[in-house]
Structure 1
């Protein structure tokens, strides 16, 4: 299915499910694509689930930007309008959690709830980036040959991405298997998009205005963390402290993609959020 934005860019989108709440999934990156097939399948009996590939990514048109949060928020609103969704619940993962939060801050009247999965909070990027990189190298370095191979490969190579994503899983025996499933199907990573949005985040995240906006957000928010995420979970404390209507679920034994390593716990947490939204 194709969603056309107000500036004429075609976005890939998909809808499945059996009624109930509307749930829109926002994938991570920036510059990646929807990897939520399993999430949609586990929730389709509780919600009408919409997935989409962000501008210039995955199955969407390879547009030349603009790569800004405001533009991506407008694209998300185009998806909402295309499917005639009144006040959907937004579920964002990693960068997608930041995008979903940005949308809720811009249009709180259009959001029934927010599920913030594996994000990094609202403090400056510099507070958590160094510890994350240390954790990543330690986790991938548990198997030295994998770390060495990751260093040999170039950005954009599927094998390098799979090795990198394998550090996101606590189950080290199945980490490559899990990461390989996320990379199937494989699309070209949009590094221009990734760099531009990353630079914007470094400039704008952590501002007093952002904290104040989150303190005034009158939308129910569920924060879902995998306890063993290599991105430090204390980074999310900043967001939890700011939000007036927030609940947090930490899934022990799960990493950055908690629906993979604790599907039952993830489904229970998100199902409760769907039931309690609005």
Structure 2
């Protein structure tokens, strides 16, 4: 796929990796984690003839400079630096997993810069306590014969190789196709850039402080932007957790993709391309 690696310089001097590819509606992706890197290249390729996709690694992650500080507000400012770097007046946002929370927060802070929002495989705006136990049960069930090894790695410090093994095992639970889950998880972890555990812990703590607060719901109720919620029917994060967000947003549609887990574009590519591509085209800046 086309595109040339670029360096975005934030106002506090941190260098972020970024890349642009495709043609069409300008959209910026926000990858999940926190602490991971952008592994959404296949998603960008799926939309290559419908969207000009701008991808980036969040600070401290992947190919970006590994330094803090880490917070949601800091990531929102970094996303603004990405927008300015590419000269985008308005843009669509697509956030996956934790990235959906980041994209939503950016839209709340800068609604004039956002034409539409795809909230992909997120978990809504209620407290994590409402769905976390269900997620943990589903995770363990999907790990199946790999559960014992995952638990052994999860409970101690890990070497770099063990860290990759732990991540591959955990992420294998995110696929509906249990026969190919480990293979698909290995592919997503290749190339391997490592997990920034400091970023993960710090940003997750920051997110937990805001979820479930009435101020967040009130802000969502005022968000006058088209939002598409997309979720895999077999995601181990329960679909009902999204009710809180859907009920708060004034302009929202919601799609549940059967036969898909946490990465629905991998397991249902054509259905995903149709739903998301049509949404982005229908709500392009100025359309």
**Pick aligned residue for 1:263 from 269, 275, 286:** 269
3-state SS in 2 of match to 1:3: strand
SS in 2 for 1:112: strand
Structure 1 residues 69-92: Cα deviation after superposition (integer angstroms, max 9, x where no partner) = 111000001001100011111000
**Distance between the aligned counterparts of 1:150 and 1:132, measured in 2?**
16
- Residue 51 of structure 1: aligned partner: 55
| Paired position in structure 1 for 2:278 | 272
Q: CA RMSD in A?
A: 0.9
Find the aligned partners of 1:176 and 1:217 in 2 and give their Cα distance.
39
Superposed counterparts of 1:82-101, under 5 Å: 82-101=85-104
Is the contact made by 1:30 and 1:197 (CA closer than 8 Å) also made in structure 2?
Answer: yes
**Residues 78-123 of structure 1: per-residue CA shift (max 9 Å, x gap):** 0011000111110000000000000000000000100000000000
Give the Cα separation in 2 of the matches to 1:50 and 1:44: 11
Q: Secondary structure at the match of 2:187?
A: helix
Equivalent residue, structure 2, for 1:70: 73
**Who is 2:3 aligned against?**
none
Counterpart residue number, 1:111: 114
The CA distance in 1 between the partners of 2:217 and 2:123, in whole Å, is 14
Runs in 1 of length 4+ with deviation above 2 angstroms?
A: 152-156
Q: CA deviation at 1:152?
A: 2.3
The whole-number CA distance in structure 1 between the counterparts of 2:278 and 2:119 is 14
Aligned to 1:5: 10
Give the distance between the partners of 2:282 and 2:246, measured in 1 at CA: 18
**TM norm structure 1:** 0.96
Structural mapping, 1:193-272, within 5 Å: 193-272=199-278
Q: Secondary structure at the match of 1:67?
A: coil
Aligned length: 273
Q: Distance in 2 between matches of 1:267 and 1:22?
A: 16
Unaligned runs of 5+ in 2: 1-5
- The alignment's TM-score, normalised by the length of structure 2, stands at 0.93
Answer whether contact 1:31 1:194 (CA < 8 A) is retained.
yes
Structure 1 stretches lacking a partner, 5+ long: none
2:7 and 2:207 mapped to 1: Cα distance?
28
Distance 1:274 1:200 in 2: 30
- Cα drift, residue 244 of structure 1: 0.3
- Would you say 1:22 and 2:26 are equivalent positions? yes
Q: Distance in 1 between matches of 2:8 and 2:99?
A: 18
* Aligned 8 A contact 1:125 1:201 in 2: no
Tell me the CA shift for residue 158 of structure 1.
0.7
